[in-house]
Amino acid sequence: MEVGIIGGGINGLFSAYYLQKMGYSVTILEQSDLLDSCSHGNAGMIVPSHIIPLAAPGMIAKGLKWMLSSTSPFYIRPRMSGSLLKWGWLFYKNATEANVQKSIPILRDISLLSKAMFQDFQKENHFDFGWHERGLMMLYQTPSMAHEEAEGAAIANKAGIEAHVLSAEEVQKLEPNTKVNAIGGVFYPGDAHLNPNLLVSNLKKYLTDKGVRFLYHTPVTGFEIKNHAVTGVLTAKDKYNFDEIVVAVGAWSGVLSEKLGISVPLQGGKGYSMLFDGLGPKVNIPAIMLEARATATPMGNALRCAGTMEIAGIDLSINMNRVQGIVNGVQRFYPELAVELPQKEQIWSGLRPCSPDGLPYIGRLNNLKNVTMATGHGMMGLSLGPATGLLVSEIIGRNKLSMDIKWLNPNRFDG
């Protein structure tokens, strides 16, 4: 059977990995050269601790407050867009306690499944991808955030995710190589991190060696559809015929879904990252600096700092004020680190595909019997990549699924 995967990001690559293991012939159609995708530049965190979705009570008020500052961690660029208005309305409707309670077991189960698969992947030792299991620190500087994170830790422990509330002294003890300016933190020992550049480049080489075909600079422009199935994938250069199609083009999935006759509400959440050479050994445990909504992840000799969520369509331009906000946050939390605003050409930007309820889209389309979607993972695309790829292969192979995915139905907002 021939499977065509549209999109060569982390979900497309892991879908290809598990499909080729099952014996399928796999082709990946990628609109770029895959050298600068969202999977390359993210923070590299594997986060079973992240069980509360973005659409949660209080996020609307926080977002409105943050929008008043040019260096804030969240921003929605005002523009006349029907898709943005629909997404915003659905986000508002889903920013509820009921959505949080529904999402917690789903995000927990898919995250733990994915982490276990990363561990298996590491044991198979196909190649190095910088895997480390040191946990994750959630750092805070204000009593209000301390209270919020203590509540989050209690929710995590109740859901079976180990969490420890730490004092400032306990935080500093875990970070002996540099000063941490925080009144405390929550430590999640079950989290991990990796080097996404190593993972993507080496996984791509591994798949090529296994016979997976990559078609670079091949954006999909449309589809031929007959008898409730895609019979042809159209590009500017050629038409391709596959038995099964996987749509995994990240923030562009919403636009592509319209060509398939359905509505998959999705907005690109732009984020930025930068590498600071020589600072990797200074930070022992990856951290999220909560008031700054910025991250710090050691990657070998370098430290990758990332952050912001800018809802701005599919615009990848770099807003230096937002980048300055990340740098300022790192300087506040790690005052001894030599972190300065880099040149624009040293800054990476990428789009996380954000659904309005904070859950990914994984599953077959109702109207097309041979199309499976794998997108909408927000900031957790890397973290959930292996589990997503496995589920895609199980869907296409009509095998028993590793977990219940009814709430991940890509048709859940259609109509």
Residue 414 lies in a domain: no
pLDDT attached to residue 223: 96
The alpha helices in 193-252, defined as continuous H runs, are: 196-209
Give the model confidence (pLDDT) of 291-327 as tens digits: 988 999 999 999 999 998 877 777 788 889 889 989 9
Q: What integer pLDDT is reported at residue 66 of this predicted model?
A: 66
- Whether residue 67 has pLDDT greater than 70: no
The pLDDT, as a whole number, for residue 55 is 84
Phi–psi pair at 413, nearest 5 degrees = -110, 5
Residue 392 located in a structural domain: yes
End-to-end Cα separation, the chain, in angstroms:
32
Q: Is 413 a member of any domain?
A: no
Local confidence band at 149 (pLDDT 50, 70, 90 cut-offs): very high
Residue 143 burial (CB count, 10 A): 10
Higher pLDDT, 10 or 314: 10
Residues counted in the chain: 415
Number of domain units in the chain: 1
- For residue range 135-147, list pLDDT tens digits in order: 999 999 999 999 9
Listed in order, strand segments (DSSP E) in 365-414 are 371-375
Residue 337 has a pLDDT of: 96
List the CATH number of the domain containing 147: 3.50.50.60
- Looking at residue 286, its pLDDT comes to 98
In a domain, 23, yes or no: yes
CA distance 295 to 274: 11
Strand-pair partners of 136? 188
Look at strands 2-6 and 25-29 and give their pairing.
Answer: parallel
- Cα 45 → chain centroid: 9
pLDDT above 80: residue 91 = yes
State residue 79's pLDDT score. Answer: 72
- Relative orientation angle of helices 10-21 and 385-396, to the nearest 10 degrees: 50
Mean pLDDT, all residues of the chain: 92
Find all residues with CB under 8 Å of 101, minimum gap 6, and list them.
Answer: none
Residues linked to residue 192 through DSSP beta bridges, in sequence order: 46
pLDDT tens for 195-229 read 999 999 999 999 999 999 999 999 999 999 999 99
* Dist CA 318 CA 344 (whole Å): 7
Predicted local distance difference test score (pLDDT) of residue 216: 92
Q: What pTM value is reported for the model?
A: 0.94
Residue 271 is assigned to a structural domain of this protein = yes
| 64-78, 273-287, 333-347, range with the lowest pLDDT | 64-78
> Can you give the residue range of the structural domain that contains 10?
2-408
pLDDT in tens, 222-275: 999 999 999 999 998 899 999 999 999 998 998 899 999 988 999 988 889 999
Q: Is the pLDDT of residue 37 over 60?
A: no
CA dihedral 197, 201, 207, 208 (to 10 degrees): 170
Alpha carbon 413 to chain centroid, angstroms: 21
Q: Is 415 contained in some domain?
A: no
Report the side by side order of strands in the sheet with 244-247: 213-215, 25-29, 2-6, 244-247, 371-375, 361-364
Name all contacts of 206-213 with Cβ < 8 Å and 24+ positions apart.
206/17, 206/126, 206/127, 207/13, 207/16, 207/17, 207/20, 207/26, 207/28, 210/20, 211/20, 211/25, 211/26, 212/16, 212/20, 212/26, 212/27, 212/28, 213/26, 213/27, 213/28
Model confidence at 118, pLDDT cuts 50, 70, 90, reads: very high
In a domain, 212, yes or no: yes
Instruction: For residues 312 and 24, give the distance between their C-alpha atoms in angstroms, rounded to a whole number.
Output: 37
51 found inside a domain: yes
In angstroms, the CA 190 to CA 172 distance is 19
| Cβ–Cβ under 8 Å, residues 352 and 196 | no
Residue with more model confidence, 265 or 71: 265
Residue 83 confidence class, pLDDT cut points 50, 70, 90: confident
